[in-house]
Amino acid sequence: MAGEITETGELYSPYVGLVYMFNLIVGTGALTMPKAFATAGWLVSLVLLIFLGFMSFVTTTFVVEAMGAANAQLRWKRMETRQEEEDDDSSSASDSDVLAQDSYERAEKRPILSVQRRGSNLFEITDRVELGQMASMFFNKVGVNLFYFCIIVYLYGDLAIYAAAVPFSLMQVTCSALGNDSCGVESDTKYNDTDPCWGPLRRMDAYRIYLAVFTLLLGPFTFFDVQKTKYLQILTSLMRWIAFAIMIVLALVRIAHGRGEGRPPLADLSGVRNLLGVCVYSFMCQHSLPSLLTPVSSKHHLTRLVFLDYVLILAFYGLLSFTAIFCFRGDSLLDMYTLNFARCDVVGLAAVRFFLGLFPVFTISTNFPIIAVTLRNNWKTLFHREGGTYPWVVDRVVFPTITLLPPVLVAFCTHDLESLVGITGAYAGTGIQYIIPAFLVYLCRKDTQLAFGYGTVNKHRSPFRHTFWVGFVLLWAFSCFFFVTANIVLSETKL
């Protein structure tokens, strides 16, 4: 995300890429979706989920098209560099005036002739050009700064969600296990932060102790470089799918046995604000598409595979959320859905209860240092000047500190995960998922026409190639901003 061209890495088949993309999109946001569904009503939630899935697919195809255009420009620059080197080698035997005239004619004719000769191979996606590098290629200086600002705000939101989710899960599980309720949160039990956890400690005290331990254990990784290993990725993915499968099966079994407690409303517009942010957050993948799709070995049917991925993700989100809202009462659904399975009447086996309750702790804890290092590197890139270096204190102390402190302070003040996910998705998420891809594809199309001539076809162009779609995406993005902001202001006014 630091805005550099990175190595493509080991190639993999399109279907492996499909699985990787599925794993990337389906993450923490999915665990907050059931409560958002319950508060907004099942019909409104279903319609909005499908529409936002479609909009995310549209902007994903925009990013893929921009990747093709960026690769074409880089490939063209390499071709021109090689041509200039060949011209320099032969220039000693040429008359200077004739050479100047030949160079002028070649510069005029080469783009159209070369593109015609090479066809659409110029747009083949072989170099992994990250979103930051594409922004620097197609945006002006103000646009690049706004891009990094948006990415940084989103990553701060991500870290705040992670920093709150782990202590919240630990508080829920341990306060139930060590307190009077050894079986977890019963269906009619409503806990407040001021309720006792164990001994003289309140639940909020326990939450903040866990937050301090979490920060002390994982915070130091922000000061170093961390990479996610392949085996760690496999382990966390395996745990995630085991947990999701268990939750869906258990909810279906309860519903089939007539023990479903949920009676969700058809529509409740007061819950749409959070649902909007949660759904946007849950479809977030645009910032990671270059590293995800560039290593795919065959990209002939890339758009179809991406579309299939979105259909599968929609089906999964629908299955998870609908089984949840019909299995549990809306007011008993917790921000982190896994915690609803800490009840003895839902899960009889203690090991399964603890696995589901602590599942977010394991998976989120492995992601937190990676997201923190990514955010730190984006701060460095934003303030970097050509040829300049940072003093050791700034590089090793200041940047890691400004990366770590804000999300921890937010998590210290609140553990309302649904609101954190909703606000992060509705603001920074909207910028990354809608605004940046829309401007990227619009500007890369203009650059492609100027560089290679009108009529040049990008083989990875989006099916939504009409300018109307760019305008529609931007209109929707700004509508989301205004709706969420107005909703927050009205809610605060009522309070």
pLDDT tens-digit readout, 70-98: 999 998 888 888 877 777 666 655 554 54
Cβ-proximal residues to 47 (8 Å cutoff; 6+ apart), any chain: none
Cβ-proximal residues to 196 (8 Å cutoff; 6+ apart), any chain: 179, 202, 203
d(CA 375, CA 303): 30
Ramachandran area for residue 141 (φ above 0: left; ψ -120 to 50: alpha; else beta): alpha
Strands (DSSP E) found in 103-255: 128-129, 196-198, 201-202
Cβ-proximal residues to 485 (8 Å cutoff; 6+ apart), any chain: none
Residue-by-residue DSSP string for 366-382: HHHHHHHHHHHHHHHHH
d(CA 274, CA 44): 12
Q: Which of 33, 16, 25 is nearest to 60 (CA)?
A: 25
Length of the chain equals 495
pLDDT in tens, the chain (495 residues): 444 444 556 788 888 888 888 888 887 789 989 999 999 999 999 999 999 999 999 999 999 999 999 999 998 888 888 877 777 666 655 554 544 444 444 444 444 444 444 445 788 898 888 888 899 899 999 999 999 999 999 999 989 999 999 999 899 888 866 554 556 555 445 667 888 888 788 999 999 999 999 999 999 988 887 655 567 777 878 888 899 999 999 999 999 998 888 889 999 888 888 899 889 989 998 888 888 888 888 888 889 999 999 999 999 999 999 999 999 988 889 888 998 888 777 888 888 888 888 888 888 888 888 888 888 888 888 887 777 788 889 988 999 999 999 999 999 999 888 788 888 888 888 999 999 999 999 999 999 988 888 878 888 999 999 999 999 999 999 998 888 888 778 776 655
Strands 196-198 and 201-202: antiparallel
Domain boundaries, the chain: 14-79+122-493
d(CA 3, CA 468): 29
- Token duo for residue 274: 């959070």
Question: What CATH number matches the domain at 14-79+122-493, 3.20.20.450, 3.40.50.1240, 1.20.1740.10, 3.30.70.260?
Answer: 1.20.1740.10
d(CA 375, CA 383): 13
pLDDT in tens, 196-220: 888 788 999 999 999 999 999 999 9
